[in-house]
Chains A and B, each alone.
Chain A
Amino acid sequence: MRLHLDNFTKRFDGNPVIEGMNFVVEDGEMLALLGPSGCGKSTTLFAIAGIYRADGGRILFGDRDVTNLPSQRRNVGVVFQNYALYPHMSVEENIGFPLTVGRIRRDKAEVARAVREIAELIHIEELLARKPAQLSGGQQQRVALARALVRRPGILLLDEPLANLDARLRLEMRSEIRRIQLETGITAILVTHDQVEAMSMCDRVAIMERGRILQIGPPTELYRAPVNRFVAGFLGNPPIVFLEGRTAGQGSFAMDQGLHLPLPPRLRGLPADRPISLGIRPEHFGTGGTAQATGRVTFVEPQGRETLFDIETAPGVILRSVQPAREDVGVGDIVTWPIDVDNLLAFDAEGTRL
């Protein structure tokens, strides 16, 4: 089902938390709301679920205006961060619960069949008799997902679903949730503060800050063409490095500390002596390109497949580089590595990308 937030506004005690938010999630699409804690992403999610009442604007499911409908009548499935399984019920009763309440009365056989069907989809058939306390974190997560999906909701909302899992399980559940979302073709919204989750699981990502959506688009677009410094800094691990400086003559960039770099061709026309900041992603330093920077290695972090380097190219100016694992460079070495100028990002004084 298509979801449309139209000029949605939410206030807490009179303070606007979200003001005039607009976005559309197409039918069958999975959207991530990504942002630091307190940016309003969970508030948005709970407003879609109907737990919070909207203070302005409209929420549309397809053509249906649900702004003033209570949660019970919205038919939205929610997976909570702590799963919120009902501890006194077995897994089967947990999953079946949504079918035993509400207007439509179903007989036991029908409920049992629906539960079995969804349990097979989620791969938890063998757990049905257990109590939530007897399950591991990943299994609880699956049960919560099954319970959210058993009613065949129009929209699935996931509130930090992976935050309570250990790293390995997180990886596994990431692809599992995506698989189930694709198999059921359900419209889904994922709230997370983890950029890897957002980028790897979703069709589109909306980056939020202080109650506003800064940019919304496919993950690669956000990564390659962020609208501003915040988006550029939020996406990417290890993160982008920002250099503060000014434009100098002949389309170049100069820092007070003495580092000079050429600007990408599309920005050569900028007037001189304008304060800008240059963003260099670690994969664009040390792997190829037209310009070069020389510096002393101050930090090496081997990560198995890759190695991270910190290079001090001028006093206090540290560039980061990530390269396929190599052991020929150590701390204190002086290196001259290429910079991929075409992929540099530049931002004006207000933080908007140029």
Chain B
Amino acid sequence: MTRNFATLPLLLLLIVISLPLTVMYGFLILDTFTDAPPGELWPDRFTLEHWRFLFDGGEIGNVWAAAGNSLILAGSMTVIVLTVSTTGAYALSRLNLPFRRFFLAGVLVMHAFPSVTLLIGVFFVLNLTGLYNSMIGVILVKSSLMLPFGIWIMKGFYDAVPWEIEMAGVQDGASRFTVWRRLILPQVKPGLVALSVFSFLDGWGEYLLPRILAPGSDMEVLSVFLNELIAADQLGFNFNLFKSVGVFYTLPVVLLYVIFQHRLMNIFGGGTKG
């Protein structure tokens, strides 16, 4: 590494700027394990009381069930987004489709479209099809909102694979499908990994859609569960409990990020080719 400027001042500046964030995160973790006297900021005793919700659902309800539901939402959504994006993007990138340009423009417009404005329409559609208030409805809506992004990203990865590889595969006697599965798909694997992590995190963090489209469903996702926690009047505000559940909610995200951080950067490196 070559240095053409002093790194120390820059480092100091970054530390100062990110200090509030670090302090907040620090307290978030700290508060889940401690109790402070009323009105005080600094805790005076260690306790595991706030983590009791993990095995004792009596006080706030079953957090594992909620986590399971979030997992189902995020997982199904990932599967749908991956399946449709890998096949759809290949078609848009390589096949001589009628209306190909129209589809491409459509995908781009949808990508930029603010999804909140669609809520009323989506509500009507779900109501009409009987999917309102069900997890399936939420999964379908969430996946379709994610698809433009997924297709666009995957198309970028496909575009970067040289045509000659495809021609060579066909020339070697393989069908277009075999070429796609055995020759092209392995080349876009970084895109697949990044996209699946992205859509999983997106589904895991989703609050608005389950809240609005399935308010009465018995399949409550973690984000809604967390919200109920402070909305529930009978408990009063137990901030430390709220923070504990919050940390519990964040852990998978942090874990995924730590594992896949290098791969996630790929999406911006490889996916930029329109």
Contact = CB atoms under 8 A, between A and B. Distances in A.
Contacts of A215: none
A102 interface: yes
A84 B172 CA distance: 12
A75 B187 CA distance: 26
Interface of B: 162, 164-165, 167-175, 178, 182-183, 186-187
A88 interface: yes
A88 B171 contact: no
Contacts of B183: 86
Given A101-B174, A102-B174, A88 B186 contact: yes
A108 to B, nearest CB: 16
28 contacts: A46-B167, A49-B171, A50-B171, A51-B170, A51-B171, A70-B170, A71-B167, A71-B170, A72-B173, A72-B174, A78-B171, A80-B164, A80-B168, A84-B162, A84-B165, A84-B168, A86-B165, A86-B183, A86-B186, A88-B187, A97-B174, A98-B172, A101-B173, A101-B174, A101-B175, A101-B182, A147-B168, A147-B172
Contacts of A78: 167-168, 171
A170 interface: no
Interface string A285-323: 000000000000000000000000000000000000000
Interface residues of A, number: 25
Given A75-B173, A82-B164, 17 more contacts: A46-B167, A49-B171, A51-B167, A72-B173, A72-B174, A78-B171, A84-B162, A84-B165, A84-B168, A88-B186, A97-B169, A97-B182, A98-B172, A98-B174, A101-B174, A101-B182, A151-B173
Q: Max chain A CB contacts within 10 Å: which of B172, B175, B182? A: B172
Contacts of B186: 86, 88
A177 to B, nearest CB: 17
B173 A102 contact: yes
Interface in A1-58: 46, 49-51
A263 B182 CA distance: 65
Contacts of B168: 78, 80, 84, 86, 147
Which 4 pairs, one residue from A and one from B, show the smallest C-beta to C-beta distance? A84-B164, A98-B172, A102-B173, A101-B174
B167 A80 contact: yes
B172 A82 contact: no
Nearest to B173: A102
A288 B15 CA distance: 84
A80 B163 CA distance: 11
B156 to A, nearest CB: 18
B171 A71 contact: yes
Interface of A: 46, 49-51, 70-72, 75-78, 80-82, 84, 86-88, 97-98, 101-102, 147-148, 151
A84 B168 CA distance: 7
A4 B99 CA distance: 37
Contacts of A51: 167, 170-171
A61 to B, nearest CB: 14
A151 B164 CA distance: 19
Which one of A46, A84, A148 has the highest number of Cβ atoms from chain B below 10 Å of its Cβ? A84
A181 B170 CA distance: 22
Contacts of A71: 167, 170-171
A277 to B, nearest CB: 42
A184 B252 CA distance: 59
Given A82-B162, A84-B165, A86-B183, A76 B171 contact: yes
A64 B208 CA distance: 64
B170 A87 contact: no
Contacts of A101: 172-175, 178, 182
A193 B186 CA distance: 34
Contacts of A87: 187
B175 A72 contact: yes
A299 B165 CA distance: 47
A91 B187 CA distance: 16
B94 to A, nearest CB: 13
